[in-house]
Every structure is written in structure tokens, then in C-alpha cells.
Amino acid sequence: MEIERKWLVEGLPPLEKAEKVFRMDQGYLTVRPTVRIRREALEGGDTHYILCIKGEGGLSRREVEMELTPAQFGELEEILPAALIPKTQWRYPLPGGLTLEVNQVDRGRPTEFWYAEVEFPTESAALSWDPETAGLGEYLSREVTGQKGQSMGEYWVRTRL
């Protein structure tokens, strides 16, 4: 189960240096239900290839992820109806063992945008978390959790198809 809140943001947060930085490329075989492939390359580390299937939902939804081989990823990429979406993700540790994931999507393109997410262990933890406790009240002021049209799958449809 994935339980997360999402915000539209401008640039990187007012925090210390990110703990991890990933270069990603992702594409969608379908968006209803969401079936996505993603290549995740950790700066200075390994690259992983992931198949992700997500159910319906807003704050929480079923999510199943499976590791792919590079060859399997390549085969699935070939049947995508459009080009992969490039994305850079910075991960910052937050109090309480949480992580802020900040994403820059389609850098340098007219469609470029930024968003941030925080995943939670329970819905009650998600609903009770106040960004101000991490000094992020102003940065995380435009919450879009569960809003129609705010998923990466919907972005794929708007900008790629």
C-alpha cells in the first residue's frame, strides 16, 4: 500500500544537501490502471529497472513493484506509445524517519515542473503531518494530494500522447 501526500513546488527545498539523487526515466503502458516502467539511476550508484502497477486512490492506493532486467525494460520501452519522461529526484531526510522526495520533470522543456511527495506508514500519520514541523510550511503550501489530473500518469497523457 502506498500512502503519500503530494505538493507542487518551485525548485529545491530550504534544506541541507540531499541524501540521495536519482536520474529517472519513466513511461506508461496504461494509466487506467497505472502500469509504469522506470529506470532509476542513483548518482554514484546502481541503476534499477522497475515495473510498477498502481490501483485507484488518492491519499492511499495499492502499489505493486517488481524489479526488471535491463533487457525486459528495453522490451517494454519498445512498446510504449510515446517517449519516456526524464526526471531528477532529490531525497531529503525529515524528522520522524520520513523522506521528502523532490522531483524535477522534463527539465528544459516548456512542460517542465516540480513536485514533492512524502510517503507515510499510515493514513492517520499522513493526515496529521504538518509540513511546518519540518520547516517546510511555505515550501509545501500547494498540496495536490488526490486532485484529479495531478498524477504523473495524467501528465504523460497530456504531454506525450
- Whole-number Å distance between alpha carbons of 8 and 136: 13
Residue 92: active-site member: no
Instruction: Characterize the bridge pairing of strands 63-68 and 47-54.
Output: antiparallel
- Whole-number Å distance between alpha carbons of 53 and 31: 9
Out of 28, 92, 115, 155, the active site residue is 28
- Whole-number Å distance between alpha carbons of 14 and 125: 23
Joined grid coordinates for residue 94? 525529515
Active site residues: 28
